[in-house]
Amino acid sequence: MKKIRILAVLSAFALASLASCGGNQKTIAIVQLMTHTSLDEINEAIVKTLEGSDVYRNSGYSLVQENPEGDMSILSQTMAKLNETADIVVAIATPVAQTAYNKLSSDKSIVFAACSDPIGSGIVRNLEKPGENITGTSDAIQVKSIIDKALLIDPDLDELGFIYNPMEANSVANKVKIEDYCKEKNISLISSMISNSKEMSEVANVLSNKVDAIFVTDDNTVASSMPSLVAATKKAGIPCYTGVESMVRDGGMYCLGINYGELGKKTGEMVLDILSGTKAGDIPVKIFDDNLNSYLNIDYINETGIKIPSSIMDDPYLVKISGDK
């Protein structure tokens, strides 16, 4: 009888231990494509939004982080693992969103962040009613508006450079938009490709000596190598236009776009909606395409001597950034 009692106590202890170790624990996994300022800012805002909410704190969910540092094979393996361990996956950047959509089972909720073209990327069919198990936020690049600003700064702009990684669907989509608008404005577009950040220095130095300015959008490979790009454009004395604000803080000259902290906050709020019982597919995709600010790196123009017209300098929505951060 004594042995039976001991076994019963041990069994109860084992069950309690399993429960305390998360036997019934549900998981939110944040998967960030790689480390760079834009994606870091989104990630931090998502975590802050979740941890600041009673909905999350009382949900019984734990939070885990994954970062394959741009390695697509590791990303694929990560998603296979999360298909067994995660309940909600927050996918930061288009390649992560696509991999999550293709790899995760339909019972997993997916919330993507900073996907430039959710429809073109094949992850949703309708922005208002994404359906299935997915929703998220889009950082659509203001291609036409940025090129219009570039023409205000340099009315004689004839040749525009564009650097991108062809493996990023968002960059390919933006390249098409830039090509179309450059044709409309009689600007020659010269594109250069990189596959990793180590290639940026050589590519940027060559291209900077062929064009009047360089325009980069939300390419993650480019974003992770901004110091090399900026060194080349400053040396050539030409503008470096970017598609996102954080790339100006990383040294670029000018951007008209969104604040990634706000995008991350909205992404986190979507996760909270799911925790409150709303299906991901019933939450409209949020496109950040209005109430935009201009961002200008003052040190860049001081170092290069590039003149900025008063129509930009006097803009009440202009944010002046000093330094490389």
Residue-wise pLDDT for 1-12, tens only, equals: 433 333 333 333
Look at residue 14 and tell me whether its pLDDT is greater than 90: no
Give the residue-averaged pLDDT of 276-297: 92
Averaged pLDDT score across all residues of the chain? 91
Angle formed by the axes of helices 260-275 and 37-51, nearest 10°:
40
**Can you give the pLDDT at residue 244?**
87
Do residues 196 and 221 make contact, with C-beta atoms less than 8 angstroms apart? yes
Give the residue-averaged pLDDT of 21-35: 83
Q: Percentage of residues in the chain with pLDDT exceeding 70?
A: 91
**Can you give the pLDDT at residue 8?**
38
Give the residue-averaged pLDDT of 121-139: 93
Measured in degrees and rounded to the nearest 5, phi and psi for residue 72 equal -70, -30
Could you give all domains of the chain from N- to C-terminal order, each with its CATH number? Answer: 25-139+260-287 (3.40.50.2300), 143-257+292-321 (3.40.50.2300)
Helix, strand, coil proportions of the chain in percent (round to 5)? Answer: 45, 20, 35
Give the residue-averaged pLDDT of 267-272: 98
Look at residue 16 and tell me whether its pLDDT is greater than 60: no
User: What is the chain's Cα-based Rg?
Assistant: 23
**Can you give the pLDDT at residue 50?**
98
Residue 136 makes CB contacts below 8 A (sequence gap 6+) with 91, 97, 110, 111, 112, 113, 115, 118, 267, 270, 285, 286
Give the residue-averaged pLDDT of 238-260: 92
pLDDT-based confidence at 258, cuts 50/70/90? confident
Look at residue 124 and tell me whether its pLDDT is greater than 80: yes
Across 47-56, 185-194, 196-205, 242-251, least confident range: 242-251
- Closest listed residue to residue 317, CA positions, set 264, 256, 242: 256
